[in-house]
Amino acid sequence: MSTRLEIGLLQCGYIAPDVAGAHGDYPEAFADLLGPEGIDLVTYDVQQGPPPTDPAAHDGWLVSGSANSAYEELPWIPPVEELLRRLIDREAPLVAICFGHQLLAQALGGRVAKAEAGWGVGVHRYELVGPTRPWMDPPPADGGLLMIASHQDQVVELPDGAEVIARTDHCPVAAFTVGPRALAIQPHPEFSADVSRGLIGLRRGVIGEERSDAALATLDGPLDHDRHQVATWMANFWRQ
């Protein structure tokens, strides 16, 4: 394996305690996913303290999900947006997931809103757009990936210079890049089927009975291969 990388994790939220108690919070979920890829994490809880200031402090950066919305007027969000803009300016390797994906788009001038189609939950098939990038190694077998979604917000307007690289009918901007150093992904490669089941159970009232049941049914199919393939791609992206 290549030399291990140290990645700064900007933890923007928390997995619900009833679920995290059994499966771990974002730092544990990402460590389980990325540790086998030679990735070590240094976590910054940006809701509880200021974000780091040095874009070169680590080999790369990772932005987590959150139960908050990127457009909420919360005091911790603008400093994180400013850091994301600095990381882009310095071309520091950056991967942003779910809320992080949305916040990066917003920080660069895009727009985030609630999805008109409602919650995206359970396993979705993501269609890759455009040519296979060098970091997509190994390439997908059939031009798509199965990953877990868990969001009611999504990017509805891309910032200038961003390029869509994955989509679904429900989420037309499911992943995008900004230049060679920033990758943003709406679904959750760090979520296992058990984590998704737990979150759907807790949110059943707001997601809706029918959509919750349909999402739960998707979690019984194959999943681990694609989420670990995305973990490899993330590591390749940081290393490129």
pLDDT along the chain (240 residues), means of 10: 89 96 95 98 97 97 98 98 98 98 98 95 95 92 90 97 96 97 97 96 96 95 83 97
Annotated catalytic residue, options 58, 124, 170, 188: 188
pLDDT recorded at residue 1? 52
Annotated catalytic residue, options 12, 58, 98, 151: 98
Q: How many structural domains comprise the chain? A: 1
Question: Residue 68 is part of a domain; what is its CATH number?
Answer: 3.40.50.880
Is 210 catalytic? The answer is no
pLDDT recorded at residue 224? 74
Strand 175-178 versus strand 144-151 pairing type? unpaired
pLDDT recorded at residue 64? 98
Contact by Cβ (8 Å): 120, 101? no
pLDDT recorded at residue 143? 76
Domain that holds residue 27: 5-239
Q: Is 227 left (phi over 0), alpha (psi -120 to 50) or beta?
A: alpha
Q: Up-side HSE of residue 21: CA atoms within 13 Å toward CB?
A: 4
Question: How far apart are the C-alpha atoms of 150 and 132, rounded to whole Å?
Answer: 26
Is 98 catalytic? The answer is yes
